[in-house]
Amino acid sequence: MTQGFIDSFDARKRRGFVRQGRKADLIPFRAQRSDESLNAGDSVEFAVVGGKAGLMAQNVRPLRRS
């Protein structure tokens, strides 16, 4: 799993973008569950896979804060 952060997220469409670092490219994702609470700036972990239009992030999950 890769770690990064949510760059932007549209809760209505359940789509957004993650980054692996501040200057890294945006990677699109679609939230798997409608009850997920994701916000811009949240630290997350995810898997990067190849899609029809290029790279996509899958299994985007917020990192637990201690």
Residue-wise pLDDT tens digits, 2-61: 999 999 999 899 999 999 988 889 999 998 876 678 999 999 999 999 978 899 999 999
| Euclidean distance between CA atoms 18 and 6, whole angstroms | 4
Domain topology for 2-62:
OB fold (Dihydrolipoamide Acetyltransferase, E2P) (2.40.50)
Q: Which two tokens stand for residue 53?
A: 């239009």
pTM of the model: 0.85
Domain assignments of the chain as residue spans, ordered by start: 2-62
Contact (CB, 8 A) for 42 and 11? no
